[in-house]
């Protein structure tokens, strides 16, 4: 891909206690708010905000936001229109978690349009927390979800193009670059919400890493890795190369760091530092991003590489309705 990487912010790691921005809770009429990963998080937040603004629950809000992203035809890393695995099969992963500890997930789900809602059905209608592959699909169909082919012609074309080299090399912020001419850095949707009753919930939904091995499962459906929520403390979600999140039980780690008193930004930063310490060389070549919100509604984020943006909606006006860029360990230039 010809990246030129510059180690501009290595001092962040060394500097230790340098102050980092945490977006403070801002008084809104209800205190409700929602945050989502990446620029398409704005659309997901809008869908979630309709629920929160109407007095709905954080759980309903994150499901609505995730469903919006899953239906978005512009996004080749989530739901319908996602890029397939190396065998040309589109498999979807999703999780949902309520602040009271209830959770549900599906992995390697095929041909069902809204994996987040299937995950919620796993949570609410089964004694389990995760169903995978054919079993997840069988369960979805038994619950009335439709079986529908999701791989688009565009995704099939991108896969055929990829087959020319068949090289699996995750790009920083750039799964979308696998489609010709597409330079934006959309990614997995992680969404966290706080409702007017002070309840937290989160969801995470993805088609996973493009060109992954068939059967590969990333962090997004694994509770504690791609998502973790605890009403006592806060919530965290992740995007990027999921193997790193699984290795570090990363979203759980972020929540536990907040439990020990760290701000959301500081907790995300320490989790990123853990990723770097474990695999310093690998961390220069892949992206890992964390987004967190504590029970007071404070929001923070941190990434390995520059370019991770997240969207915040709290019903206010001004900067709170815009995208925010997370600080990072490395500044990487894509060429």
Residues in contact with ligand SD4 by CB under 6 A are 77, 175, 187-188, 206, 208-209, 218-220, 239-242
The residue among 95 and 220 lying less far from ligand SD4, judged by its C-beta, is 220
R_g over Cα of the chain: 18
The counts of H helices and E strands in the chain are 9, 14
In the complex, the smallest distance separating the C-beta of residue 100 from ligand SD4, rounded to whole angstroms, is 25
The residue among 242 and 264 lying less far from ligand SD4, judged by its C-beta, is 242
Torsion angle in degrees (nearest 10) through CA of 186, 299, 68, 207: 50
Is 47 in contact with 191 (CB distance < 8 Å)? Answer: no
Strands laid side by side in the 4-6 sheet: 4-6, 327-333, 299-305, 288-294, 234-240, 227-230
In the complex, the smallest distance separating the C-beta of residue 312 from ligand SD4, rounded to whole angstroms, is 19
Active-site residue (options: 77, 188, 237, 332) = 188
The residue among 137 and 188 lying less far from ligand SD4, judged by its C-beta, is 188
In the complex, the smallest distance separating the C-beta of residue 14 from ligand SD4, rounded to whole angstroms, is 27
The residue among 81 and 241 lying less far from ligand SD4, judged by its C-beta, is 241
Compute how many other C-beta atoms are within 10 angstroms of the C-beta atom of residue 205.
35
- For residue 244, what is the enclosing H or E element? helix 242-247
Q: How far apart are CA 2 and CA 232, in angstroms?
A: 45
In the complex, the smallest distance separating the C-beta of residue 153 from ligand SD4, rounded to whole angstroms, is 22
Q: How far apart are CA 29 and CA 121, in angstroms?
A: 32
Please indicate whether residue 28 is annotated as part of the active site.
no
In the complex, the smallest distance separating the C-beta of residue 66 from ligand SD4, rounded to whole angstroms, is 14
The residue among 60 and 219 lying less far from ligand SD4, judged by its C-beta, is 219
Residues annotated catalytic, as ranges: 188
């Amino acid at each position: 891909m010809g990246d030129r990487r510059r180690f501009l912010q290595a001092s962040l790691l060394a500097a230790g206690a340098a102050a980092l921005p945490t977006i403070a809770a801002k008084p809104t009429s209800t205190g409700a708010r929602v945050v989502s990963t990446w620029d398409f998080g704005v659309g997901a937040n809008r869908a979630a905000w309709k629920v929160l603004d109407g007095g709905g629950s954080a759980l309903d809000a994150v499901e609505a936001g995730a469903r919006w992203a899953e239906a978005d035809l512009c996004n080749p890393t989530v739901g319908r229109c996602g890029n397939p695995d190396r065998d040309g099969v589109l498999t979807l992963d999703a999780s949902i978690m309520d602040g009271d500890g209830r959770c549900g997930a599906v992995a390697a789900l095929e041909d069902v349009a809204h994996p987040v809602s299937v995950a919620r059905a796993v949570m609410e209608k089964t004694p389990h927390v995760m169903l995978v592959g054919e079993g997840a699909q069988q369960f979805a169909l038994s619950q009335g979800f439709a079986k529908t082919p999701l791989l688009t012609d565009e995704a099939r074309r991108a896969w055929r193009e990829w087959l020319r080299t068949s090289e699996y090399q995750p790009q920083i912020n750039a799964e979308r670059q696998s489609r010709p001419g597409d330079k934006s850095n959309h990614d997995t949707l992680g969404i966290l919400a706080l409702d007017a009753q002070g309840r937290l919930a989160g969801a995470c939904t993805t088609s996973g890493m493009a060109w992954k091995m068939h059967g590969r499962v990333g962090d997004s459906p694994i509770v504690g890795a791609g998502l973790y929520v605890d009403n006592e403390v806060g919530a965290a979600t992740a995007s990027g190369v999921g193997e790193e999140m699984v290795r570090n039980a990363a979203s759980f780690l972020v929540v536990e760091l907040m439990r020990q008193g760290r701000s959301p930004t500081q907790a995300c930063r320490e989790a990123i530092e853990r990723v770097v310490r474990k695999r310093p060389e690998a961390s220069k070549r892949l992206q890992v991003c964390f987004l967190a919100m504590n029970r007071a509604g404070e929001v923070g984020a941190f990434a390995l590489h520059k370019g991770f943006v997240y969207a915040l909606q709290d019903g206010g006006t001004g900067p709170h309705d815009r995208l925010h860029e997370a600080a990072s360990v490395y500044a990487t230039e894509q060429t």
